[in-house]
Structure 1
């Protein structure tokens, strides 16, 4: 059973997420929180596998709460549930270790799939969020890419996967584009994370941008 804590300052949003999570036979909502302070206490008390974290909340925001949670519970998977107008907070959440990012208008089945992926150790990212983050980085740092020397040695297939990942494609989309199995793509992504020492797909996408290969 995947134990989940729901964090959002809007009661209606939390209620909807609870109904969705509790409708799945393998997911259990163990606590709700309306702000970051409550989120930190809930994680301390219930030790969930996954936290679905809002970013904009009164009192302690989601970025600060994520940092506090991961200071003490580094194996907890904090998945940010966000809107498109939260760019700055997305970067903040990424910098403190958020495990994944989803849009609030994601389809219910996509959200449940993301919870399962997070619990299994596979960072879930809405492709649209990934494209937005990388696009924002491109706008800010357009001059002089660092070049491919910032990359560790990669196989040709790993490079192909990295390029498509930087465009916001999911593992399934990459598999279809490269005529590979999804499991094979997951293996390549895992190898990329290991070789680069990074911990999620957004950081890989930003690395591809720094190396100047994201436009390939």
Structure 2
């Protein structure tokens, strides 16, 4: 939720625009990111996102990479910075988030970030890596449908890293992924967050 009852996973948030900015500071990266109301975690880089970015191995250096649920772009821009020869697809349902990600990528001169709606990614694209702080609050069924849709687009050697709070169901999600035939293991654990590594 973002305030005034507006979901950050709405396509067009009704919340009035309140522009702001946050700093993304990592050992290898420092970016000032434009934010706004009606998007996920507009006042600070979410702790789960930070745990993800500080815990996962470097991404593949070429090919197509996916930030699933990009918000205003901290994951997508980190992927693009760490893998400058790769194409990074930043996808979301929230049009305001997509506009912010596009502006933030341009400001950071990360020109291989493609900020697109979830329904606008070409069907033939396959991903060598997926990094995501998924929208757990959309509900279990919608979450499962979303993950099924995108995990099936991993390349044979592709890997996904998902960050999920323990009390929001990381262990049950790991079990469900296993039941669907995925290899799902805990890559890291910090501050009540779990990083799940998912492969074929």
**TM-score normalised to the size of structure 2?**
0.38
**Which structure has the higher relative contact order (CA within 8 Å, separation 6+)?**
2
TM-score (norm 1): 0.36
- Structure number with larger C-alpha Rg: 1
> Hey, which of these two has a bigger chunk of strand by percent?
2
**Structure holding more helix per residue:** 1
